[in-house]
Every structure is written in structure tokens, then in C-alpha cells.
């Protein structure tokens, strides 16, 4: 036997609306309420919500020499977060079942340069430049460059951090345990 319950409003014992239907819009709860969903909330059969994983956060705690006018991969020796074990040799590789849109941030700090010289930070995708930023050194001051990118990635694709400078001699990319001066992070966006 099948039963049908018809109501446009369901209230709790205090007379507060728990569920209300008006013009084909269903409202559950009210402002300030906590609504717990047991099971999977879906939108047309697809799960709603999710997690921003995989996520990784790499920090450089040592120093790395960068030759003049040479684009060089930055190596990170401290892996603070890597939820899916997706980072190897400072390269992020999209794990199986994790294709999608990702957001990346690369921050690099180098020692003092000459006035007008540059420090460029790059995010590489599949071995080539995807995004780049260029900052000019003021005289005798260390410099930080930051580059961000949102990339639509397939399983197995790679993302890396590179740097380039033109001070006329080698420069040192500096790392720091506590202050985290040179870092590389990325995570999958919920879409």
C-alpha cells in the first residue's frame, strides 16, 4: 500500500517552520538553524559538495643556486601536506580519479639583486610555461615573486615551479623553516 502525505508547511512542536513549500521552492529550516543531512545530498543525481583534495604544500628550508639567465626548477625539501601522495621530486602529478580544475600558488624569495634586474616565478604545466610573473629588484634588497594559476588538469598531468633571474651572476633562492619564504602549493577546486 502506498501513502501520500500532502503539506505545504511542516512545523516543530514550538510552531517554527521546519519545511516550507512556496511556488515550487522548498525551504528547509530558517536562518541560524543547523541542518544535518544524513546520507548523500544530490543535485540531479550528482553528489553536492566535496573536498578540496588533493592538496599539497611544499616548503624550501635550504638554499638553491640559480644561474644567471637560466630557467631552473625549484626543488623543495619539506613536504608539509600531500593528501594523495601526488608529489614526487617537487613535481605534482594528478592522481587517478582526480582530474579537474586546480589552483596553484608559487612564492619564491631570492637574495639581493641589482637595481632593475628581475626575478621571475613560473608555474609549468606538462613541462612548459603556463603562468609567469616578473618583478624588478630595487638596489640591494632581496625580492619575492608570487605567481598563481588555475589549470584544468587530466589524470597524469604534471605541474612544477621554476624561477629565472638576470643579475649577471648566480643568485640564491632562500628557504626558511619558520617563515616559509619559498613555497609551492596547490589543491583541487570544488566545481
Local confidence pLDDT in tens for the 191 residues of the chain: 778 877 778 888 888 878 888 887 877 877 777 777 777 777 776 667 677 899 999 999 999 999 999 999 999 999 999 999 999 999 999 999 999 999 999 999 988 777 788 999 999 999 999 999 998 888 777 888 999 999 999 999 999 999 999 988 898 898 888 888 899 999 999 87
pTM exceeding the 0.85 threshold for the entire prediction: no
Q: How far apart are CA 163 and CA 129, in angstroms?
A: 11
Please spell the DSSP secondary structure of 69-134, one letter per residue.
T--EEPP--EEEEETTS-EETTEEEPPTT--EEEEEEEEEEE----TT-EEEEEEEETTEEEEEEE
Among 63, 61, 90, residue whose Cα is nearest residue 170: 63
How many Cα neighbours within 13 Å face the side chain of 95?
14
Amino acid at each position: 500500500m502506498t501513502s501520500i502525505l500532502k503539506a505545504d508547511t511542516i512545523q516543530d512542536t514550538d510552531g517554527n517552520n521546519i519545511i516550507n513549500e512556496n511556488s515550487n521552492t522548498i525551504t528547509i529550516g530558517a536562518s541560524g538553524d543547523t541542518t544535518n543531512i544524513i546520507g548523500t545530498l544530490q543535485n540531479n543525481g550528482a553528489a553536492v559538495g566535496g573536498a578540496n583534495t588533493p592538496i599539497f604544500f611544499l616548503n624550501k628550508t635550504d638554499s638553491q643556486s640559480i644561474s644567471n639567465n637560466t630557467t631552473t626548477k625549484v626543488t623543495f625539501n619539506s613536504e608539509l601536506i600531500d593528501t594523495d601522495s601526488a608529489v614526487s621530486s617537487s613535481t605534482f602529478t594528478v592522481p587517478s580519479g582526480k582530474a579537474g580544475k586546480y589552483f596553484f600558488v608559487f612564492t619564491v624569495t631570492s637574495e639581493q639583486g641589482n637595481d632593475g634586474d628581475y626575478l621571475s616565478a613560473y608555474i609549468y604545466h606538462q613541462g612548459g610555461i603556463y603562468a609567469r610573473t616578473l618583478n624588478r629588484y630595487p638596489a640591494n634588497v632581496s625580492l619575492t615573486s608570487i605567481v598563481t594559476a588555475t589549470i584544468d588538469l587530466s589524470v597524469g598531468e604534471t605541474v612544477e615551479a621554476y624561477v629565472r633571474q638576470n643579475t649577471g651572476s648566480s643568485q640564491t633562492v632562500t628557504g626558511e623553516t619558520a617563515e616559509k619564504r619559498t613555497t609551492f602549493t596547490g589543491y583541487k577546486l570544488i566545481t
